[in-house]
Amino acid sequence: SRSPRPDTVRTTCGYCGVGCTLDVVVRDGSVAAVLPARDGPVNRGHACVKGRFSYGYLTSAERLTEPLVRQDGVLTPATWDQALDAVAAGLRAAMEQGGPDAVAAISSARATNEENYLVQKFLRTGIGTNNVDNCSRLCHAPSAAGLTAAFGRAGGTDSFDDVERADCLLVVGANPVEAHPVVGARLLSAALDGATLIVADPRNVGLARHADLHLRPRPGTNVALFHGLAHVLVAEGLIDQDFLAERATGLDELCTLLTDYPPERAAEITGVPAGDITAAARAYGRAARPAIVYGLGVTEHLHGTDGVRTLANLAVLRGAVGGTGHGYGISPLRGQNNVQGASDMGALPDLLPGYGPVTDPAARARAEAVWGQQVPRRPGLRIPDMFRSAREGRLRALWIIGEDVCATDPDSRQVAEALDACPMVVVSELFLGETARHADVVLPAASWLEKDGTFVNFDRRFQRVRPAVRPPGTARTDFDVVHAVARTMGADLGCPTPADALSECARLAPDFAGLSYDRLDREGAVPWPCPSPHRPGESTLYTREFATGDGRAHLSAAPYLPPGEVPDADYPLLLVTGRRWAHYNSGSMTRRGGNLLLDGQGRLDLHPLDAARHGVRDGAPVTVESRHGRARLIARVGSDTAPGQVFCAFHFPADGVNALTSPHADTATSCPEYKVTAVRLRPT
């Protein structure tokens, strides 16, 4: 719903995937304050330091206010007409030399649903390629793949309101107190109200300090841990036989596999004591209403999709999914504000809006009927393949929207080489970040407080995004810019406004058929699937049947396989990367507000034993090296990390953290293995 106060604009936070409703107080055309909405459906009057105070970047002197076009090797201010002509010429040249598949685009969770929808429509109908991907490739692509394989849809199974009612919470590979603070607070309060809290995470994360059980698996060993838990559930009869017989498949294969994973063997692989594995399984198995919440510590692995699927096994074995009344399924905590929506809108190389495969003639026909144009049938390139293709000279034009890939993607040296090898790189950005410096054309973009649209949060709720202030200078929304580029190339994408774009998407994607701006303005938040304007969206999935081909939940019998890197004599420590509470991703927004005063530099957390072993002092500079690169950080010695492991965030690109991370990626989805890199260190 709209804000109740005349001087405020109600919108949805553009940082993490919780999707807090915020009332932005505007004075003289500027943001004067951001207030958490008391009636916000997820935040209920709360917000974290990012959503509430990180808006100083809006008026930063570093904001891009006019396009830049590279001339004689230098990025030079240009008019929009000049910039659009340069982009169109670059795209046309790429198509002449390599066909439509020589062009690609990387879209973003920072973009609205409507912007993501328009980008993929432009690539598919204006260019003629499926080479479009979004940043979920780097975080939750294994969730989409794993949850679809298990249950049929690429989202969490239950709403957070239900999760909060659980009497046992299994929180895996997530640090919500810092990365999703409003949800972290709600989980903590559920635990304080009596829910059993089990945290599975290698680090001593905030929630772990309040947990009944804290399991600390070695990074890269999740699948063995989940099989160990499943083994106990089966061995002790803590499974729902009726549910499994009526609504699931794959039990026999899984039970055969689980004979290899008694708690003792799982303990050997994971380092978690067998007794703790047994105790955790009993707590989850005996609870009346258990729920699983997980984060990127499950997905960002060489076998991340197997991790999601084998974690989902627990909910299926327990019959705790599908609105059975016996629990609240499995919910991924999305890192970025609209990472769910970017994929929902089809900014993916193999899936159309609403997840219809491009290889499926019926899904293509639905889109073609609405778009009036043919949809290419061959799946396009994923983000890592785009970079590879550029290095090999096949990809000749790449448009990157709202992603600082040189700062956030793994093995950043190779990313920079790919951009330098690509004849036309277009970057739409707020600031001249690491990636924009490699661009041929830089287009100044509007931020989430400056645009109109919708986001989808981590529990599948569509919510409105409304412009509170105008973008600076001539900066424009990605929605406007995609239209402008298409027009310059002679293409008409239709849907002139964001509201039109959502309506058009609703016509081709059955799960979104009941959505419209009128409805969202009236109701505030509507979850998908929402197949009818006359029915509420489904906050709990699969109450009748699962959305798989046979209508049943599919258990996975994937075996544990080791991670891409393990410690050795040369690189004896394992690096885990993640987020800290005051900053967001590459920090381009949160570093340009007051948050630097709260958390102003990149730090490497390490255990006192490792500090002593490597001669590193607390607060002193330290050089970290992997097989892929080098970074310099400030040591923070403490017991949050286990011996043999170190942790740092990626909020400060100048530190070069992603020069360290490896090119290993999930075998099913190409999601990078950010959580496991073998490193060594020395005092700087």
Q: Which C-beta is closer to ligand SF4: that of 42 or that of 495?
A: 42
Among candidate residues 155, 557, 668, the one with its CA nearest the CA of residue 317: 557
In three state form, how does the secondary structure of 169-213 look? EEEECCCHHHHCHHHHHHHHHHHHCCCEEEEECCCCCHHHHHCCE
Which is closer to ligand SF4, CB of 43 or CB of 120? 43
Kindly state whether residue 578 participates in binding ligand SF4, applying the rule CB under 6 A: no
Among positions 121-180, residues that touch ligand SF4 (CB under 6 A) are: 180
In the complex, least distance from residue 453 CB atom to ligand SF4, rounded to whole angstroms: 16
- Smaller CB separation from ligand SF4, 336 or 539: 336
When CB distances to ligand SF4 are compared, the closest residue is: 51
Among 48, 418, 449, 465, binds ligand SF4 (CB under 6 A): 48
**Contact region for ligand SF4 (CB under 6 A) — 9-17, 167-175, 398-406, 448-456?**
9-17
- Spatial distance between the Cα atoms of 419 and 386, rounded to a whole number of angstroms: 10
Distance of closest approach, residue 451 Cβ to ligand SF4, in angstroms: 16
Contacts within 8 Å (CB) and 24+ apart, 607-614: 607/637, 607/638, 607/639, 607/641, 607/642, 607/643, 607/644, 607/645, 608/637, 608/638, 608/639, 609/643, 610/573, 610/643, 610/644, 610/646, 611/635, 611/637, 614/680, 614/681, 614/682, 614/683
Decide if residue 195 touches ligand SF4 (CB under 6 A). no
* Strands of 330-332's sheet in order across: 213-215, 196-200, 168-172, 290-294, 330-332
| Nearest distance from C-beta of residue 296 to ligand SF4, angstroms | 15
**186 touches ligand SF4 (CB under 6 A):** no
Task: Check residue 15 for interaction with ligand SF4 (CB under 6 A).
Answer: yes
In whole angstroms, the minimum distance from the beta carbon of 605 to ligand SF4 comes to 22
- What is the nearest approach in angstroms of ligand SF4 to the Cβ of residue 484? 30
Among residues 50 and 301, whose Cβ is nearest to ligand SF4?
Answer: 50
Tokens describing residue 65: 């206010």
Residue 50 in contact with ligand SF4, rule: CB under 6 A: yes
Torsion of CA 571, 577, 582, 588, to 10 degrees: 100
Residue 244: name the closest of 234, 229, 256, 236 by CA.
234
Does 13 help bind ligand SF4 (rule: CB under 6 A)?
yes
Least Cβ distance, residue 13 to ligand SF4 (angstroms): 3
- Rounded-to-integer distance, Cα 293 and Cα 310, Å: 14
Prior bond of 290 cis (ω within 30°): no
Give yes or no for residue 537 binding ligand SF4 (CB under 6 A): no
Binder of ligand SF4 out of 51, 327, 376, 444 (CB under 6 A): 51
Of 9, 10, 19, 670, the one binding ligand SF4 (CB under 6 A) is 19
**Amino acid letter, 47:** A
CB of 153 to ligand SF4, least distance (A): 23
- 72: which residues sit within 8 A by CB, 6+ positions away? none
> To the nearest whole angstrom, how small is the minimum distance from the Cβ of residue 21 to ligand SF4?
9
Q: Decide if residue 563 touches ligand SF4 (CB under 6 A).
A: no
* β-pair type (397-401, 196-200): unpaired
Query: Is residue 18 near ligand SF4 by the rule CB under 6 A?
Result: yes
Quick one: 47 or 611, whose CB is closer to ligand SF4?
47
Distance between CA atoms of 674 and 98, rounded to whole angstroms?
33
The angle at the Cα of 471, spanning 3 to 19, to the nearest 5 degrees, equals 45
Which among 45-53, 196-204, 261-269, 525-533 is the span making contact with ligand SF4, rule CB under 6 A? 45-53
Residue 203 has φ and ψ, to the nearest 5°, of -100, 160
Q: Rounded to the nearest whole angstrom, what is the least distance from the CB of residue 480 to ligand SF4 in the complex? A: 25
Is the distance from CB of 29 to CB of 468 less than 8 angstroms? no
The residue within the footprint of ligand SF4, chosen from 69, 145, 147, 182 (CB under 6 A), is 182
Q: Which stretch binds ligand SF4 (CB under 6 A): 12-20, 133-141, 243-251, 657-665?
A: 12-20
Instruction: Determine which residue in the list 9, 47, 481, 616 makes contact with ligand SF4, applying CB under 6 A.
Output: 47
Residues at the interface with ligand SF4 (CB under 6 A): 13, 15-16, 18-20, 43, 47-48, 50-51, 180-182
